[in-house]
Every structure is written in structure tokens, then in C-alpha cells.
Structure 1
Amino acid sequence: MVGVPTSKGCLLCRERHIGCDESRPQCAQCRRHGVVCPGYTRMWKFQDEGPRLQKWYKKRPVGRGSHAKTDADAVHRDVSMRKQIGTKSSIDERVYPALVHQAFINQQPRMFKEFVCAAFPTMFFHNEFRFGKGSTFPDWVVKHFGSKHYYDASVSCLSAEYLAHLTKDPRLHQFSRQKYSQALGATRQALRCSHEASSDDLLIAVILLSYYEMNVRTTPDAWVYHSRAVKQLMLKHGMDFHLSGTGRICHFAYRPFLIAAALCEGEPCFLGDDDWQILAATLREEDSQKQSQWSFYIDVYETIFMELVKCPGYIKETREIVCVFSPQAGLLAQRVYMTYDKLQMLTDELRSMLASANQRKEGIISSTFVGPEPSDFPETSPSLLLNAAVNAISILEQLYARLTMPAYVKEETPSSSGSTPSSLSTSRSVGLTDSGGPLFDFRFTYELGGTTPKEEQRSFTWLDRVAGSMGLLGAEIIYEDAVVVG
């Protein structure tokens, strides 16, 4: 049987189990959170009527009235019907299994779009105008669905996992794992083919597989392996490929996770190299001139990104310093401080822009911000990036203190205010070791790197927050205790 959900709210409100005012074209909840409302179309779902019918037939008498006679043929037919209804598979699946499978495949493009809208409510909505003429990331994926086996399997495993999330059906989760396994095998074959390895389809497919792993976590680090493949494919295509078309779409769709992968592996992110910094500057100049309410933020937004992407390299270089009095330590400290200082100014500017935008939404028209500054903002790509920049400032301040002081003083708490880290104002006489000793003995943690909440506590839109924070969601440096001498 086919049924529809009883709730008439929009898809996102039903997913979040919250009240929906059903206003059109967008409900109040979606407008409040700055996300695109997915609409009120209620999807059909299949319900197994076998148990209900079986119970009904068990209660049904064989004959009618008190004078009904027992008919041996009727009893035989009734028993046979009960056996048929009692089977686990549906009638459609028993009569024509291929029909059910084909119907599911035909629904994949729509299900994938719904997955993107639900899982990434800010990343693609607030950056849609940046993709250039043509299709957005989900549009491009859907447009090319049905072309190649590995591509279709990559889409299907994500769509099935999203459907399993909605229905809580373990069979759909198992089906998604099967599709994921098929996609892995087919993608490996495509990577060995020189012609296919340079195709746009393969780059998109590997990105989708990484999305799947970040959601499902078949193994803790599998998403990192997929990120390595994305990195190699992007480098193979070259920087110019990402200025337009599919390359531009893939760059915006995956660059936050490239930063996260670099942090996880303890390596610099290639997006911080000069060529890719030029790419970011070019995209900044182009997109800041476009007609969109979000283009207002682009100049500051991209400039912050260009500084954040340097952080993985700073962390690696700091770990390799063996003496704070070496020329390498001094040069690194200068670079760290320059990025720290830029981010301080940029975050102040972005915070003021967000506050002004909030005032305009409330009907307060002013050329400058007046009044108390809000402590937080509705989650949008700019506000999530602001949180990432604040985390980065704290990390850079601590790195700078370590590079300019031979030991870490636990009692002092670095301040993020002012033009110079406050921890530099105190001088101590300390002991050093040739290898650096406890000086650079620290751990870097962040949510995508394994410190995420338990699955049952994690929101389905968690990856959207990771993306908006450029992989720095929950990032912090944890130091081991250092011994101060003198």
C-alpha cells in the first residue's frame, strides 16, 4: 500500500520534528534560520499491509449466519490465502522484484537533492550564486545520473542512507552499504583507467563517497583516504580547471574538508600554496561583484578563508621546531603573528557586518552599527566562518606564545583582545632541551577529527556546520603540562 506522512509541514520541519506554520513560499522556521524551505510535497511511502490483513482473515468466520455449512473447498482456499498473506515479502516484490528496484533507482535524483537540502542547509544555499552560470553541485550530480555505474552507485549509497535516516529502516541502511561497496569497487577500476581518471564524473563520485564516510563512518579514517583521492584529482586537473564549470563547483563543495583532512593528517593544506591562493583571490574578486544579498560578505569571507587555510601548515611547522632561538622559529613566529593580526581585524569587520545585517532584518536602517553587539547570530555561512576564525585566532595566539617563549606558563591565559597576544608581556627564565622537550608537546583536536558527539546526539546537519567552519569546528590545542624553571 502507498501512504503519505500525516504532517503537512515542510520537509525540513518534519525532519527536525518541530512545528511548522506552513506559510508559503517559505515557512517561518526556515526563514528564521536562513535556509531554503524545501516545500510541502509529501512523499509517498510503501506500507506492508500483510500483518493487518492476516489478523483480519484470522478473525473472519468461514461461513455466514448460524445456518452456514462448512465448505471444504472454502476452508482450503482460506488457509492458502493466509499462507500467502503471512509471507514477509510484499506482493510487488514477489511478482516483479525488478519493478521495485527500478522504481527506487528512478527516485535517486530527487532523493539526492533532498539529502543535500537537509544535510547542507547553509553551505549550498548561501553560496549558490558563487557556482557560476549553469548548475549548482546537486543539480550537476542529478543531471549526469544514469551515465556510469560507479557514479550511480555513489549517488545511490548517499540517497539510501538519507532515506534510512528518515525511516529508521535497517534494511535501507544495509542497502546503502551494499551500494557503497559497489561504488568503491567501480571507482577503483575507473581510477586505473587513464581516460576515466581525468573525468569530471570521477571527481564528483569521490567527493560523494567522502560525504558518505563522514556521515556513516564505516571506519574512523576512511573519509581521509577519500580526501586524499579528491586532492590528487584536483591537483591533476590544475588550478585553472577550478575557475569555472564543474571545477568551480567541486572546489566550493569540498574545500572545507580538505582543510580538515590536512589537520587530521598533520600536514599543510595544498590550498594554502601560492597558486591556490591566487585562485581564492580571483574567485573573491569575481563573486564580490555579483548580484546577491550574500555577495556583500565575499571580500571579507574569502580573505578570512585565505588565512585559515594556512593553519594546518603552521601547526606542522611548529611541531618540527627544535629550538625557539633558531632562525626557523623566528621566521615562523612572524608568519603566525601576521595571520593572527589579519584575522583579528577581519573578524571584527565580519562581526560588524553580521550585526548590521541583523539590524536591517529587524527594520533598523543605519549606515553604521549602533547599540550593543549581539553575542551570536543565526547560523549562516558567514556566521559559521566567524566561529572558525575565532577558533583559529586562539590557536595562533597559543602557537605564537610557544614560539616566542621557551616554555608554556599554565597560569596565564592568552587573550584574544588587543593587537598583541597578552602572553608575550611576561618574561621567564626557563630551561630548554635540544629536541624541544615539552615545549611543543600538544595535541590538536576538532570535531571531524574524531571528537564528535555520539551518533544519537549528533544533528543530521552536523557536516554543514563543519563545512561552514572550514573544518575548524570545535578546534583547539591541548598542551601537556610543561615545567617552568626559575
Structure 2
Amino acid sequence: MYYHNRFRATDRLDFPSYVIQDVGSHIFQDAAVACLSSVYLAYLAQDSALLKTSRQMYAQTLHEVARALQTPDAMSDAMLSTMMMLSVYEMYAQTNNDAWVVHADGVRRLMVSRGARSHAHGMARSCYIAYRGFLVATAIYKGKPCFLDEDEWQQLALHVGAEDSRKPTEWSSSIHPAELVFMEIVKCPRYLSEALEFAYYFPSPSVTAAIPDLMHRVRATSRALREATTNLRASIDYDQRSHSRSRYEDAMTGESGLSLLLQGAESTIVVMRDLLDRLARAMARPETSSALSFRVVSELDRGPPVAPNNRIDFLAVTWLDRIASSMGVIGTAIVSDY
């Protein structure tokens, strides 16, 4: 969940570096590192014995977290990173249906309780950068708004984007445009949530009266996202001309955090175009339209790809990192539910 975002660290520690630096300081965090590392290696090596071991480690981590939640560590950066790692563990291990959602919701509640300003510096900042794509993905999965579209969190995105764009990095001119893309993408879960809620009461007069306002906001965000995407693509082209090959670009796929963000933006534009079409059809024929009978599917619904004949699939190994770097929306689509 950090590989494609390493370019955002530069003169600051990235998420794994903070965790390594903190080894031995918090038992619960060390336990989370152990179980997450084990499940990753088990998936990489297709090792069922190691997978079983990772689940034992996971159970121990839950015990340590339960104890720490009764202490001042409950609101700490270490607890935030631990909850993040537990949700990522569950995305791979899938010990229970939607167990990862429980941990992701724990991350959400902890971040909201701490407030946006608490994530502007240090380890909490690296957690925010590494995990925010999963927060968007979780909101879409649950059919709920994402809190990162609220004013204080939008200001945080502007703040970290402005700071990071001043770093001496080969992608410096692309970072601020990337934040503007993120700030529009993160509004999409709220629009989907409102439309899904409309479906329960449609075609009541209150719903039909509310649809035009939703359509107006979706159109405005779509325009802003298209403009931000165009600017980001131009910035990436400029940075690429200035550097022959980025050390943050994957040698096997040619992907980078920024190219994955562009894919996420393109997915979001398609989803919002589909949503607008459905809202328009519902308004045109409120008594007979089934346009609002839909559900949203995403990469997290589908799960990691499985390589044939037990071979290692590179895209399967980097599956979660690609989701995080696209801000949680790569592969997201609206499908009819009738």
C-alpha cells in the first residue's frame, strides 16, 4: 500500500520506514507487522502452512490491540498504523467476510476522532498518504460517503500537496495536480450513496425534487475532475521529459503512483457519467424507471487475481498497492441490480 507512493516521501520517512524505526516500542504494532508480513509471504509463495501461521499471529495481534485500546495508546500513531495493517491483512487473508471492513472502519473512526490536523506531520501523515485510497474504496464498498470529502480533510490534502510539491523530486510539478484529482475523486462515494438512498424511496416527491441538486453537484465534480486530470497528465508529461526514467516507476508494468491515479480518475469519470445517465432516466420516467436499481462493484469486491497453476502473478502480489494508488476507484463500475 506504499510501493507506488514512495515518491511522496523523499526527505521524510515513508510508512514502512516509520514502522521499522518504531520496532520494539509497541507490542501491538510489532505483532501487526509480523502477521501482515507473514500473509504477504504466504500469498507470494502459495504456502498454506505460512498462511496458517499468519492467522495465529493475527489472533495474537487482536489480543494485543484489545489490551492497548484500554491505554493512552488507543489514540496513538502506532494504533493508527496497526489498524491499517490489520485491514490490509484481512484483504489478503479474508478470515471472515467483510472482516477487513471492520478494521477499515476502525481506521476511519480513529482518524475522525483525532482530526485532520493530527495527520499533517510525521508517521500519521505517512499513514494518511498510504491508506486514504482504501478509505475511499471502503466508502464505495459500503455505499456510504467518505469523510475525506469534508472541509478539514480537503484542506489537509491541499496542505500536504503544497508541501510535497516543494520537495526536490523528479515529480514535484505533478504532486499538486495529483492532490486536486484526489480531492474530486473523494466526492464520488457521497454521490453514489445519495443515489442508492434515493432508490429506497423513489419515486416519492421528496426524492424526485432532490435529484436535480445531486445531478448539479455530479456535473460540477465531473467537470472539475476532467480539468484536474488534464492538468495532471500535462504535468506528468513535463516531468517525464525532464527525467529519462523514474526510479518510482515499476520496471515490469511501467506503472507509477501517478499513472495509477490517472486510471482511478478515468474510472471515476465513467462512473459519474453512468450515474448522471441513470438520474436523468429516473427523472424522465419516475413512475416506471428502474434506473436507480443498481449496485457498485470494485476491485475489492473481486478480490486478488489468482495465478494459474500456482504461478506467481505480479499484478496479484501488487493488487492492493494498485488499489491504494488509484485512490480506491480503479475498476469501479455501476451495474444494474434487476
The CA deviation at 1:196 is: 2.2
Q: Distance in 2 between matches of 1:406 and 1:152?
A: 52
Amino acid corresponding to residue 139 of structure 1 in structure 2: S
Q: Does 1:383 align with 2:246?
A: no
Aligned equivalent of 1:235: 112
Identical positions, percent? 36
> How many Å apart are 1:355 and its aligned residue?
3.6
SS in 1 for 2:317: coil
Instruction: Find the counterpart in structure 2 of residue 126 from structure 1.
Output: 7
How far is the alpha carbon of 1:170 from its aligned partner?
3.3
Query: Corresponding residue for 2:227?
Result: 345
Q: Which residue of 1 aligns with 2:249?
A: none
Alignment-mate amino acid for residue 438 of structure 1: S
Specify whether residues 153 and 440 from structure 1 end up closer, same or farther in structure 2 by C-alpha distance, changes over 3 A only.
same
1:224 match: 101
Alignment of 1:14-413 (within 5 A): 120-123=2-5, 125-129=6-10, 133=12, 135-191=13-69, 193-321=70-198, 322-323=202-203, 326-361=208-243, 378-406=254-282
Q: Please state how far the C-alpha of 1:459 moved relative to its aligned partner.
A: 1.7
Note the residue ranges of structure 1 that are not aligned, 5 or more in a row: 1-118, 364-376, 408-429, 482-486
Q: Give the conservation status (yes or no) of the 8 Å contact 1:126–1:380.
A: no
Counterpart residue type for residue 379 of structure 1: E
The two structures have a TM-score, normalised by structure 2, of 0.87
Q: 1:460 aligns with which of 317, 320, 331?
A: 317
Q: Please say if residues 2 and 130 of structure 2, whose CA atoms lie closer than 8 Å, have aligned partners that are also in contact.
A: no
Per the alignment, residue 65 of structure 1 pairs with none
How much does 1:336 deviate? 0.3
CA distance in 1, matches of 2:270, 2:293: 17
Q: Which has the larger radius of gyration?
A: 1
How far apart in 1 are the matches of 2:232 and 2:113? 35
CA positional deviation for 1:258 = 0.5
The alpha carbon displacement at 1:455 in A equals 6.3
Cα distance change, pair 358–278 in 1 and its aligned pair in 2 (3 A): closer
Once residues 178 and 452 of structure 1 are traced to their aligned partners in structure 2, the CA distance between those partners, rounded to angstroms, is: 22
Letter paired with 1:149 = I
Where 2:263 maps in the other structure, the secondary structure is: helix
Asked if the contact 1:126/1:294 (under 8 Å) is kept, the reply is yes
The one-letter code of the counterpart of 1:145 is V
Whole-angstrom CA distance in 2 between matches of 1:165 and 1:204? 21
What's the secondary structure of 1:478's corresponding residue?
strand
Whole-angstrom distance in 2 between the partners of 1:196 and 1:170: 34
| Amino acid paired to 2:224 | K
Structure 2 unaligned runs (5+)? 246-252
CA RMSD of aligned residues (A): 2.4
Q: Distance in 2 between matches of 1:266 and 1:404?
A: 20
Secondary structure at the counterpart of residue 106 of structure 2: helix
State the alpha-carbon separation in 1 of the partners of residues 149 and 56 from structure 2: 37
- Which deviates more from structure 2 when the two are superposed, residues 306-315 or residues 155-164? 155-164
Distance 1:185 1:455, change over 3 A: farther
- Report what 1:450 is aligned to: 302
Structure holding more helix per residue? 2
Query: How far 1:286 moved relative to its partner?
Result: 1.7
Q: Aligned equivalents of 1:306 and 1:437: distance in 2?
A: 32
Closer, same or farther: CA 453–220 of 1 in aligned 2, 3 Å: farther
1 CA distance for matches of 2:8 and 2:157? 14
- Matched to 1:234, the amino acid is M
